[in-house]
């Protein structure tokens, strides 16, 4: 199977077709990130590989810019693999690739497909896509509500025109209503989808996992296929990164912080609750502190443990038990 590495940006696609894996013979083409560009791309690949030979497209998860391409190729019965950016960065380091440009990124992506044989991507269901979109919209409105609230607070202590105060107040009321309406839509969507409803309820049997955490984790588990819990923690950027050489330590370990930043923030808040209200995780946290772990590092470990517990509950479809790990 031939591998097509695609570096995706908002307006264009840098595409590298790997023709030979030993000599790394390649073909390079740039097309628009548009339906017309996708057709040109398919015709170009077909013109450069033997008739009847299969090929797959490998791309990096880039927010929303890769989604339309992925769906278009999938509908054209072309295998698609979508790779976590953190995996690609590590792979590039293993190849000693230090330079960075769109063409070179596409080469690295194509080689990743040839050497690592990533799993074929399957589009999430319409319900999962809807949940993802609703949560994204809720986040955007919540940010705007915070900004408007900050503006109103500033206006209250300065000589601000009455119309501005009135405008801010109306805007805040409108945004609050929008958040309520979106939350209702989220609840209705989950209640109508049997598997998501069940998974959310199971996750909420874990002390410290409330409505928001269970909703986001349900979205994550239905949106992506994970082989094990460590894959989930790596995807979320919860793996500790160390900077050491021999016996020298240059920096304290810190979280990789790749992947879904919003879910990582939610898990952080859940971990804060867990070290107080979840006996299992509270004891785990205290043991780490007793061993000399810094509070921040120990809390990161609690976040990882919480993800492991969530994955175990989801995978085995059983409520949380104290000996779950």
Ramachandran quadrant class, 237 (left: phi over 0; alpha: psi -120 to 50; beta: rest): left
14 and 72 together in one domain: yes
Residue with tokens 């690592």: 116
In a domain, 207, yes or no: no
Number of domains in the chain: 3
pLDDT digits (tens, 9 = 90+) for 215-244: 999 999 998 888 899 999 988 989 876 544
Longest Cα separation, the chain: 74
List the beta bridge partners of residue 15: 6, 29
Range of the domain at 177: 126-192
CA distances from 301 to 54, 75, 235, 271, 275 (A): 43, 41, 15, 9, 11
For residue 138, CA distances in Å to 19, 175, 182, 216, 253 come to 44, 10, 7, 12, 33
Q: Is residue 324 part of a domain?
A: no
For residues 225 and 277, membership in a common domain is answered with yes
Cβ proximity of 118 and 83 under 8 Å: yes
CATH number at residue 70: 3.30.420.40
Domain identity same for 150 and 186: yes
Query: How far is Cα 8 from Cα 88, in angstroms, rounded to an integer?
Result: 14
Residue 65, CA atoms < 13 Å, CB-side half-sphere: 15
Same domain for 11 and 110? yes
Is residue 252 included in any domain, yes or no? yes
Among residues 49, 81, 116, which one ends one of the domains?
116
**pLDDT one-digit tens code per residue, 98-117:** 778 999 999 999 999 999 99
Give the model's confidence band at 207: pLDDT under 50 very low, under 70 low, under 90 confident, else very high: very high
Please report whether residue 233 resides in a domain.
yes
Distance CA 214, CA 220 (A): 10
Q: What does the pLDDT read at residue 179? A: 98
Residues 178 and 273 in one domain: no
pLDDT digits (tens, 9 = 90+) for 71-93: 999 999 999 999 988 788 889 88
**Residue by residue, what is the 3-state secondary structure of 85-105?**
HHHHHHHHHHCCCCCCCHHHH
Torsion sign, CA atoms 136, 137, 138, 139: positive
- 182 assigned to some structural domain: yes
Q: Give me the percent of the chain exceeding a pLDDT of 70.
A: 93
Same domain, residue pair 6 and 112: yes
Residues 306 and 223 in one domain: yes
Q: Is residue 276 domain-resident?
A: yes
Has residue 205 been placed in a domain?
no
pLDDT at 253: 58
Residue 325 has pLDDT above 70, yes or no: no
pLDDT score for 322 = 74
Give the pLDDT band of residue 248 (cuts 50, 70, 90). very low
- Supply the DSSP string of 40-51, one letter for each residue: HHHHHHHHHS-T
Buried b (16+ CB within 10 A) or exposed e, 242-258: eeeeeeeeeeebebbeb
What does the angle CA 122 – CA 210 – CA 213 come to, to the nearest 5 degrees? Answer: 35
Establish if 121 belongs to a structural domain.
no
- H helices of 117-258, in order, are 126-156, 162-192, 194-203, 211-223, 229-235
d(CA 15, CA 28): 6
Pair (106, 132) in one structural domain: no
Q: Are residues 220 and 312 both part of a single domain?
A: yes
Check whether 133 has a pLDDT greater than 60: yes
Q: Does residue 178 sit in the same domain as residue 103?
A: no
Query: Where does a domain end: 116, 136, 153?
Result: 116
Q: What is the mean pLDDT of the chain?
A: 92
- The answer to whether residues 282 and 289 touch, using CB atoms and an 8 Å cutoff, is no
**Is residue 17 located within the same domain as residue 95?**
yes
79: region left, alpha or beta (phi > 0 left; psi from -120 to 50 alpha): beta
Give the residue from 84, 116, 148 where a domain finishes. 116
Same domain, 38 and 138: no
């Amino acid at each position: 199977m031939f591998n097509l590495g695609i570096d995706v940006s908002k307006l264009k696609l840098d595409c590298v077709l790997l023709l030979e894996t030993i000599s790394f013979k390649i073909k390079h083409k740039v097309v628009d990130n548009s339906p017309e560009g996708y057709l040109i791309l398919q015709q170009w690949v077909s013109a450069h590989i033997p008739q009847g030979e299969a090929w797959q497209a490998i791309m990096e998860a880039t927010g929303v810019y890769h989604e339309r391409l992925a769906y278009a190729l999938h509908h054209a019965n072309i295998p698609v693999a979508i790779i976590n950016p953190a995996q690609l960065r590590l792979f590039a380091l293993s190849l000693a690739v230090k330079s960075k440009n769109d063409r070179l990124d596409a080469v690295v992506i194509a080689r990743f497909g040839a050497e690592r044989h990533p799993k074929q991507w399957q589009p999430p269901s319409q319900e999962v896509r809807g949940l993802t979109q609703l949560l994204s919209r809720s986040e955007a409105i919540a940010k705007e509500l915070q900004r408007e609230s900050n503006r109103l607070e500033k206006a209250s202590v300065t000589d601000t025109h009455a119309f501005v105060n009135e405008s801010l107040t109306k805007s805040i009321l409108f945004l609050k209503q929008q958040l309520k309406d979106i939350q209702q839509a989220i609840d209705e969507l989950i209640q109508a989808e049997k598997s998501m409803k069940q998974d959310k309820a199971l996750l909420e049997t874990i002390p410290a996992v409330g409505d928001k955490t269970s909703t986001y984790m349900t979205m994550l588990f239905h949106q992506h296929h994970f082989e094990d819990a460590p894959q989930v923690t790596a995807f979320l950027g919860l793996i500790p990164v160390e900077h050491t050489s021999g016996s020298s330590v240059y920096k304290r370990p810190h979280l990789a912080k790749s992947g879904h930043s919003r879910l990582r923030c939610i898990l952080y808040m859940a971990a804060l609750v867990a070290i107080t209200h979840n006996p299992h995780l509270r004891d785990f946290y205290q043991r780490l502190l007793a061993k000399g772990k810094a509070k921040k590092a120990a809390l990161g470990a609690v976040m990882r443990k919480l993800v492991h517990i969530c994955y175990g509950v989801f995978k085995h479809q059983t409520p949380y038990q104290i000996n779950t790990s």
